């Protein structure tokens, strides 16, 4: 599972009062094209998406999903 992004100077909640982990889980499911656009929504999203751990986990999740789709087809 995705670990908390400790060490980043971010708040636990956004202006919508959503927990950071929920935002991360939502962002992880976006295609790369939309992630790049989403970086500019706010400083929190920029920090999350720019984090190398996030990028690595997004890649792993995408690769796993593609393998599952190929096997299921």
Residue 13 has φ and ψ, to the nearest 5°, of -130, 150
Question: Would residue 13 count as lying in a domain?
Answer: no
Question: Would residue 4 count as lying in a domain?
Answer: no
Task: In whole angstroms, give the CA distance from residue 60 to residue 64.
Answer: 6
Mean of pLDDT values over 7-34:
77
Q: Is the pTM of this model over 0.85?
A: no
Give the domain extent around 51: 20-72
Domain count, the chain: 1
Question: Would residue 62 count as lying in a domain?
Answer: yes
Measured CA to CA in angstroms, residue 41 lies from 3, 63, 72 at distances of 23, 26, 35
The conformation of residue 9, written as its DSSP 8-state character, comes to -
**Contact partners, residue 18, CB within 8 Å, separation at least 6:** none
Mean of pLDDT values over 7-25:
70
Question: Would residue 12 count as lying in a domain?
Answer: no
- Identify the band that residue 46 occupies on the pLDDT scale cut at 50, 70 and 90: very high
Task: In whole angstroms, give the CA distance from residue 23 to residue 54.
Answer: 12
């Amino acid at each position: 599972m995705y670990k908390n992004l400790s060490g980043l100077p971010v708040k636990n909640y956004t202006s919508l009062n959503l927990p950071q982990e929920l935002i991360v889980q939502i962002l992880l499911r976006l295609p790369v094209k939309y992630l790049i656009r989403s970086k500019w929504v706010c400083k929190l999203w920029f920090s999350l998406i720019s984090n190398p751990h996030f990028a690595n986990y997004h890649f792993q999740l995408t690769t796993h999903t593609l393998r599952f789709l190929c096997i299921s087809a």
